[in-house]
Chain A
């Protein structure tokens, strides 16, 4: 490397960056360790510990999952309830770390939060925009700069200085989506949503997601609705009890699930 000039090495770095997958799972496994019986109290815990009756249930939420997702791809994760879909989202969002294996995520990962998660009802819309964007790791300067565009996109107008509890559900949803997507992320994690507000706003959300995707954002959609997965994704992963059942072209994977 020492023989390369600075510009050559940056060029090299950039080209390897482009070729490398944005999301890479290598034999990922996640182990949950929970007490077999619900031992909730300290007293009960101590008693059981002394009696050596403290039993743990070890449960693999994911096992041996491997796949790559390329830049700009829309990737679907399908499975029944309890198959490990939300664990998958958690490890991608860095909320959980894998017990075994390796995960590499390149760039900024933005989770689309459920309706109103991370909002405070007593604070105004304005205060909530600052609160919510700091949850996503934005600095104050960034929010100052993006404030107007967040407001415009959410279409909440004069309500901006009223407490959030006076907002309608649709308004909260619009504000949430607007903040989460105010900067184009490299990876967008979508959990069962796309039911944001009224249909015209949904259209607007989809447009924004499409335009981000064209600019290189990778989108991961987790759902048990085949329709959603089929209409958006190009590739998909089907999991059951934490294990890979099928991986590849979306139609084949869906076929595998329904057939």
Chain B
């Protein structure tokens, strides 16, 4: 068996963004392998395995429900479903962006020696996130049914919500991965930012407790819309208005383009900087 003849000519490279995209298509098996590796390696070491992915959001939800219904006493109907669906979208975003950055840095030794499309780490972080997100639908649907929240056909738009969330997370993840190559403290800094970002997004509290005069500030947060397009169909059983979709899509595409272009324009420096 022989390879097909391929020619690499450094003077005839396409635009780095396109080159990266084509290369990623060619290395799709690697994306699958990285995703599978992360998932199997994680569950092999933990005793309760897959169950953990399901128990973790459940435990968080129970704690938050107790805290918010007993201490803060604001009224959100079916709060467990509200908080769990919001957490699912948020956790997907925070985990995929952090690991897009982390995997890239930890795999530095490999990137130094062998050619792989460097965005493969970010893309497979999204893949891993999607698997975990899929699993966390099990506890969500369970609670939805137990509490008697109505399940409506609005549910059918969830794949589009997840798509926009993924595009947004990929863009942010690529931007972070680039930054992390240049700044050693990017990983801890991002953890702090994530915590602030989490509390600035209506996930554990309802939108209407936000102060009226500060609403414009909160409206600048992309995650506000990305959480909404995910949560509304599950929690309220309605499809958000087209304006909300348009803003969410706008933020996703902008993040994707900025992240993708910055990442690919700097990719030549990764090999000696990591």
Contact = CB atoms under 8 A, between A and B. Distances in A.
A72 to B, nearest CB: 14
Nearest to A35: B182
Contacts of A70: none
A159 interface: no
B5 A134 contact: no
Interface in A75-127: 89-91, 93-98, 101-109, 111, 113-114, 117-118, 120, 122-123, 127
Contacts, number: 127
Interface residues of A, number: 55
Nearest to B31: A134
Interface string B36-48: 1100110011000
B114 interface: yes
A186 interface: yes
Given A95-B111, A98-B10, A117-B109, A131 B37 contact: yes
Nearest to A43: B185
Interface string A183-197: 111100001000000
Q: Is the interface of B mostly helix, strand, loop or mixed?
A: helix
B208 interface: no
A177 to B, nearest CB: 14
Interface in B1-24: 1-3, 5-11, 13
B238 to A, nearest CB: 42
Interface of B: 1-3, 5-11, 13, 26-27, 29-30, 32-34, 36-37, 40-41, 44-45, 109-116, 182-186, 189, 268-269, 271-273
B3 to A, nearest CB: 4
Given A17-B5, A40-B184, A134-B30, A113 B40 contact: no
Contact of A106 (B7, B37, B111, B113): B7
B7 A104 contact: yes
A104 B113 contact: no
A245 interface: no
Interface in A135-170: 135-140, 142, 145-146, 163
| B13, B111, B114, B268 pick with most chain A CB within 10 angstroms | B114
| A97, A122, A127 pick with most chain B CB within 10 angstroms | A97
A256 interface: no
A4 interface: no
